[in-house]
Amino acid sequence: MSGPKKRMRDSFLQAMKERMAAARDVFFLTADFGSPVLDGVRKDFPDRFVNVGISEQNLVNVATGLALEGFRVVAYAIAPFITMRCLEQIRINLAILSQIRPLNVTLVGVGAGYSYEVSGPTHQALEDIAVMRALPNVGVWSPADAATAAAMAHRALDGIGVRYLRLDSHPLPDLGPAPTPDELKRGFRLGGSAGAAAAIVATGYMSHLAGGVRDELEAGGIPVRTVDLMDLAAPDLAALAAELAPCRAILTLEEGFVGRGGMDSLLGQHLAPLLPKAKWTHAGLEPHYHFEIGPRDDLLAAQGLSRPALAARLIDRINA
Amino acid sequence: MHVNVGELKKQAARVRAETLRIHAAAPETRVASSLSAVEIYVCLFYGGLLRHNPADPRDPARDRLIVSKGHGSISLYPILADRGFFPKEELRRVCRPGSFLGGIPDPVIPGYETVNGSLGHGPGVGAGMALALKRQGSDRRVVVVTGDGELHEGAVWEAFLFAAQHKLDNLILIVDDNSRCMMDDTARVVGLAPLADKFRAFGWSAAEVDGHDVEALAAAIGAAQTGDFPGPRAVIAQTVKGKGAPSLEGDPLCHVRTLTPQEVEELTGGAP
């Protein structure tokens, strides 16, 4: 990790603000969830900004109605609330309806994983990847840094369809250069050593931890390929398999429950068959709620998600 | 507005008979819920209360109709066919393999706007459409039809608050208040009375009307659409679930009742 830390939501909202200034068909909804940058959106575009109040079900339904009438809609709330409080509204009015009628709706959830580290399980998004992955016609986008979040804002407005954008609440350094359009299209970007026999595939905040594990292993003479998986619904798995073809050991790393339909399921079910020689290990949160308060990295380390523990886990796969 | 009462009555009788015939051929359909709403759909489509264009079902100049009680709109099928949204022959294929006319309608059917099989979504989506139309400067209206049991869903009350907050005077809600949900009388499950007062307390105008009296119903819908109330408008159409089929009208469980072909034949006076 290096460089100044920036909030994903700030870069996303700044990009949206610029697009709202340039086009009159972008509408912003929030479920009483704000930020200083969003205050600017509210001030500059009062005719295209509505706070629906603490009502995520209505947030999604109103977003649908606006989108049916031609607006490109952003709906903004806390991550577990905008995915699970209103899951049926998303299923009926976005996933099913968008298969029949074109809609452009971007659901933005802030608070990926343990982001809200002192708020406990109600505010932590631990199941959102699995839940949203289950819905056809809904993209699941997971940026690891502010530059990626901004790029995804533009990609959402330039496309058509429905997607869930999972933002971290903490300021984070850029993982690397902003993703290129081609990387966004493929849904992943690469780091570390090309041709390495070991790889870590991670998403969001965990892509930063993956970089730390990689650096530690490479300092010890073990080359590692890292993959920042940005698209958790429909990445270009054939392209990813081609990049990881030399790998004999692959660690997946996510800040969500393992074995419950998250990124590990996506990769285990759909990528692993394309890489039959690789030995896999899936790291994430144990399927259990935790009520401990703590620095995020301590909460993760308590579940074996620390640099040394993960490095040891990958080495174990390399040596298996 | 001049309304041809005789024509509306004639259409209601035809639609009721055709609904029963559809049900006879497709007993999976929810006939009791569909029969209570016949006059609502008839008034909208034959009473000049819903601008529509069968040649272009998504014509921007149309009024938007959201049939939130989707299961209870089999009686809309013969109306849409008659108006030319799709060929009348399709009415003979309801619920058959390959037909787009299912037991619960989806917007693959010309004339339907949204997905309606799950209850409680229409008011919120309709509020979003109404807000969009106002912000776009359109004078088109959004008409949402719900049942009364459907108002048990909490999301509709979120939408009612929202619509009042934004003074969506282009949003018309028609409640097919047939007083029954699936397992019992609504009042014996979770009562909604006084419903009109609830709407007024939420910032809506509310009118109560006999939902089978086409003259009164058309007048109430027309008044709701053209009145100067500065907010959303509700028309509570008091109806009878299973209207026109005596064995359904008296049965608290009529929602899930199926009429036999013989019953339908007696009610409709034989084959069309």
* Residue after which a domain boundary falls, among A173, A199, A214: A173
Query: Can you list the residues of chain B whose pLDDT is less than 50?
Result: 272
In order, the DSSP letters of chain A are --S-EE-HHHHHHHHHHHHHHH-TTEEEEESS---HHHHHHHHH-GGGEEE--S-HHHHHHHHHHHHHTT-EEEEEEEHHIIIIITHHHIIIIIIIGGGTS--EEEEEEE-BBTSSTTT-GGG-BSSHHHHHHTSTTEEEE--SSHHHHHHHHHHHHHS-EEEEEEE-SS-EE-SSSPPPHHHHHHTEEEEE-TT-SEEEEE-THHHHHHHHHHHHHHHTT--EEEEEE-BSSS--HHHHHHHTTT-SEEEEEEEEETTSSSHHHHHHHHTGGG-TT-EEEEEEE-SS-------HHHHHHTTT-SHHHHHHHHHHHHH-
Cα–Cα distance, B209 to B204 (Å, whole number): 16
Considering the domain architecture, whether residues A165 and A187 belong to the same structural domain is answered as: no
Phi, psi (rounded to 5 degrees) for A66: -65, -40
Torsion over CA of B76, B37, B236 and B231, rounded to 10 degrees?
0
Considering the domain architecture, whether residues A166 and A29 belong to the same structural domain is answered as: yes
Considering the domain architecture, whether residues A110 and A155 belong to the same structural domain is answered as: yes
Q: pLDDT per residue over B130-180, tens digit each? A: 999 999 999 999 999 999 999 999 999 999 999 999 999 999 999 999 999
Task: Return the DSSP state at A113.
Answer: B
Considering the domain architecture, whether residues A31 and A57 belong to the same structural domain is answered as: yes
* Residue after which a domain boundary falls, among A143, A173, A203: A173
Q: What chain A residue is nearest to B135 in terms of C-alpha separation?
A: A47
- Which pLDDT score is estimated for B117? 82
- Which pLDDT score is estimated for A23? 97
Considering the domain architecture, whether residues A11 and A133 belong to the same structural domain is answered as: yes
User: Helix, strand, coil: what percent of chain A each, to 5?
Assistant: 45, 25, 35
Window 16-45 of A, Cβ < 8 Å to B: 27
Considering the domain architecture, whether residues A156 and A186 belong to the same structural domain is answered as: no
Phi, psi (rounded to 5 degrees) for A316: -60, -40
For chain B, what is the largest distance between any 2 Cα atoms, rounded to a whole number of angstroms?
53
Considering the domain architecture, whether residues A142 and A44 belong to the same structural domain is answered as: yes
Q: pLDDT per residue over A158-187, tens digit each? A: 999 999 999 999 999 999 999 999 999 999
H/E stretch holding A190 reads strand A188-192
Where residue A282 sits, what CATH number does that domain have? 3.40.50.920
Cα–Cα distance, A284 to A268 (Å, whole number): 13
Check CB contact of A61 with chain B, cutoff 8 Å: yes
Centre a 10 Å sphere on the Cβ of residue A3 and count the other Cβ atoms it contains: 12
Considering the domain architecture, whether residues A89 and A222 belong to the same structural domain is answered as: no
ipTM over 0.95: yes
- Which pLDDT score is estimated for B2? 75
Q: Domains in chain B, please, with CATH? A: 5-268 (3.40.50.970)
Of B106, B132, B158, the CB nearest to A66: B132
Where residue A9 sits, what CATH number does that domain have? 3.40.50.970
Q: What chain A residue is nearest to B131 in terms of C-alpha separation?
A: A66
Q: Give A112's strand partners.
A: A125
- Which pLDDT score is estimated for A2? 64
- In terms of residue numbers, what domain contains A160? 5-173
- Which pLDDT score is estimated for A294? 84
H/E stretch holding A251 reads strand A249-257
Considering the domain architecture, whether residues A300 and A198 belong to the same structural domain is answered as: yes
Query: Can you list the residues of chain A whose pLDDT is less than 50?
Result: 1
Check CB contact of B171 with chain A, cutoff 8 Å: no
Contacts of B114 in chain A (CB under 8 A): 64, 68, 93, 97
* Residue after which a domain boundary falls, among A146, A173, A200: A173
H/E stretch holding A141 reads strand A138-141
Considering the domain architecture, whether residues A115 and A151 belong to the same structural domain is answered as: yes
Considering the domain architecture, whether residues A80 and A120 belong to the same structural domain is answered as: yes
- Which pLDDT score is estimated for B270? 67
Per the structure, how many domains does chain A have? 2
Task: Return the DSSP state at A4.
Answer: -
Q: What chain B residue is nearest to A47 in terms of C-alpha separation?
A: B135
Cα–Cα distance, A257 to A259 (Å, whole number): 7
Considering the domain architecture, whether residues A141 and A259 belong to the same structural domain is answered as: no
